[in-house]
A and B are shown apart, each in its own frame.
Chain A
């Protein structure tokens, strides 16, 4: 997907001025509320017109003030997923799902309803009224509805912000598999660094109505490590643990990780803060932390007065965070060998 947007828009006291060439399939738009993220969504979807500028999607002109072109929203084939599911309350789940599909031209009908219903596990909901669905179910139906319109671009405007943490991480795999299975490129709008890390490959950082930076989610997370409440978050997808002395033992590369809050017979996503990793120069004799990993310093980076240490642990990567004084004391340089201690309770299971 290639999106070219060069637009100015003034609404009241707020003014947006963006100029970007975006290419890729998993693009994040990151920024605080009021930064102009949603205005970008509205401009691209056609719900708002720029005062001046032009928008091209895969070479097709959607808007051009110079040429007097303004393609109607329904002709853009850009589907929206909102923060609140916005299902049509007077229609059943099935009719909601097929709303866009039925309006899609035959030659564009690439994704079939049955395949999608299977993928999103919507079958049990089909005959229900939309008022009787839980928040997570509603968002799944909304996602399905947007995908079935067979759009060439999906705009997801904070689709997880209205859900609590548990639901949020239950929906993320669905969002991901829609992208993988059906190859629909998307713009993912959010103010959550975690969501950027889990959902996107490239990120545009929007600030005060301008694109402040274009980066990768990894770089973004590293640059915000010091100021972020939880430091840098490492994400680990682990599966099929064995239970040992009340702890869950997961295979992670050639190592075993002992985790307090595991889950049997399934795959789980864990989050580990860079601040919960303690580094030792030499092997500590006896420690209470249940995980002690041998690692090599692959890379070091500065982030707002803290030092991020990228650790290579037999091919796997973790990012730890230390202060300058600690780095000096441990005399860490790239290539140093260290021991990383992590408590079993530091891993937070997300789904």
Chain B
């Protein structure tokens, strides 16, 4: 395998962005799933469509919307600029792009986990003196752990592969915002760098296999624990 220092940076950056995006999205994903599963309210369909929209929209479109929002003319962008923060074309913009694209996957998995919890378990905990947030922490969260784990690894893996939205809001600046897919794109555009592209592809495969294996191992450990 032949990796240049820029490639190594791209690998680290990819991991950093994917990890940050997942960690950042997790509390919101958990809250969104909880609202969808346990809160009865009208217009739930609208919320579900909004959350799932990034799953069906082309990532480039999401990137473009983010650019409009976070750029100089969007109101969040203006707000950030006023406090001296500029996100566009930084690794933080890549984090936001990854978080937006991976969010529906995260919510979907956590939601599946939560939907499999028998409502009577929550009724039992409430009748035994647990307030709603006590039940959330002691019953709902531990019982949806598998869903949280599945959602997080899916989202992490999806973030590693994020391309369309990232290239629009974060650009493709080597050493600053260039992640593995963007570096592969660069290599693939020049005919002489075939082997370099292949090396990074290999790294991608290794990371993906590692993430999925970790997910499987943790999942089966959880199963074993709950059987004891």
Contact = CB atoms under 8 A, between A and B. Distances in A.
Contacts of B139: 88
Interface in A152-207: 155
Interface stretch (B61-69, B107-115, B122-130): B122-130
A73 B123 contact: yes
Interface in A50-98: 72-74, 76-80, 82, 84, 86, 88-90
Contacts of A120: none
Interface in B123-147: 123-132, 134, 138-139, 142-143
A25 interface: no
Given A86-B121, A90-B142, A103-B134, A149 B226 contact: no
Contact of B126 (A47, A90, A132, A146): A47
Interface residues of A, number: 29
B19 to A, nearest CB: 27
A131 interface: yes
Given A74-B129, A100-B129, A103-B134, A82 B228 contact: no
A80 B143 CA distance: 20
A73 B127 contact: yes
A96 to B, nearest CB: 10
A149 B143 CA distance: 22
Contact of A82 (B124, B129, B134, B138): B124
A146 B127 CA distance: 8
B227 interface: yes
25 contacts: A45-B123, A72-B131, A72-B132, A73-B123, A73-B127, A74-B126, A74-B129, A78-B127, A80-B123, A86-B124, A88-B124, A89-B121, A90-B225, A99-B125, A99-B138, A100-B129, A103-B129, A103-B130, A104-B129, A131-B228, A145-B124, A146-B127, A146-B128, A149-B127, A149-B128
Interface of B: 118, 120-121, 123-132, 134, 138-139, 142-143, 225-228
Given A82-B124, A89-B143, A155-B127, 14 more contacts: A47-B123, A73-B123, A74-B134, A79-B128, A88-B139, A89-B121, A89-B226, A99-B128, A129-B228, A131-B227, A145-B124, A146-B127, A146-B128, A149-B127
